[in-house]
Structure 1
Amino acid sequence: MRLVAEFGSPEEYLAAYEEEISVGGLFLKGASVEGGAAMSECTLAVLIGGEEVAEENAKLAFVTPGIGVAVVFLAPPAALDELAARLREPEPEPEAGAGDGVQQNSARQLLAQLSPSQKMSLALKAGRAERHHLLRDNNKVLHAYVLRNPHLGLDEVQAAAKLNSLSPEALKAIGDHPEWGQNSVICAALVRNPKTPMAIALRLLPRVPLNDLRAIAKGAGRQQIVLAARKLLAAR
């Protein structure tokens, strides 16, 4: 028996790891199994952002029809522990794109010296390295300004759509954009992002690739999204 635990972002997985996995189990909200007996063996596949990143042996604890499935780990889940440790490592800064004219360290130092209003002005014309930091700034007002930067690349938008630290307003702006909102990769990221406004996520769901839609329908995301994905699959 193979079960799938899907998380929209590394942060979402780490939260589940701290609250559940590290103490011996995991509840898969919205999941279902047929004919699974208590304490029967199963394989738990972990997906983050639609990509399978780990697999662990587990045992079925209980099934609550219409609610979800709980699994337990009778031994320390080494693969999941390793995944958590890897995700906690600081991400390497991306290389500055051609023409950006500023390295990541320089961008960080520059931004630290600016006032909020100066950052807003800069966001509209910032280079790639500066945009990287501004999209992750604690001042969420800045996020929407970066999205108005004419030099913003599609790959940057795809990465931003996965950030659950991005403001809901910025996520909505991405979904409403005439180009970005039609991009299947971006749509899948927005649907999986727990901070995307529900109305936007539901509207974009039909644009999600079939494989991603199947994963969402089997995952542990927001219940309304999971049910809507299942309904779409049933209609196809």
Structure 2
Amino acid sequence: MPRAPWVPVHLAEGLTVCLHPSGVAFLPEHAALLVADMHLGKAASFRRLGVPVPAGSTATTLQALGDALASLGSTPVQHLVFLGDLLHAARGRSPALSQVVEQALTAWRGKCPGLRVHLVRGNHDRAAGDPPLEWRIELQTEPWVMGSWALCHEPQPVPGAYTLAGHWHPCVALRGGARERLRLPCFWFGDPAHHAVGVLPAFGDFTGMHPIKRRPGDRVWVVADEAVREVPENLR
């Protein structure tokens, strides 16, 4: 079991997932690291449309992913699973944009040659096309069942399994005072007995966030100050 800042969460018998402040999750029994919604190339797409966002987000995102992997220390990692929307847009839309993203990810992939990497195709992946062969990414169709878990891009119930997904970019708004509200990305887990679906926060930059509608029995962990903290149900 990984150590702090990883936070182990026991959802039910046989369902343990570890959460990291970067927004990734780890399944100890499968040695699998899960990442949702990287949207590589989105900032460059914005700049191409004239929106003044900073450059370098692809390198920053890949560095953050490398740091999350490194934080597992001696804990073995056999699988890296992207829960959809690895790429934001079609590679052919802008050759210059494509080249920057492809070179960065090809270089990053070369640093972890022994790691099996999987992509559960999301809506943006279907539009962008399959990744280049040199990335050595195994393509999966949702739901991809891994033991007691169903790995998806779009949150959806899967009979006989607990779903872990992305797509929604979940966040919660917490009140800090009469006029203060702070929006924070979050991990959102439904009660396994009624809503056996959990949603990871978006990992990439410039992805936006969408407030969740918390239901009775849901459990929520926010990411703030490089830590993961559970939000009590009475604060929903």
Greater share of residues in helix: 1
TM bucket (normalised to shorter chain) is: under 0.3
Q: Calculate the TM-score normalised by the size of structure 2.
A: 0.28
Larger Rg: 1
Whichever structure has more strand as a proportion of its residues is 2
TM-score relative to the length of structure 1 = 0.28
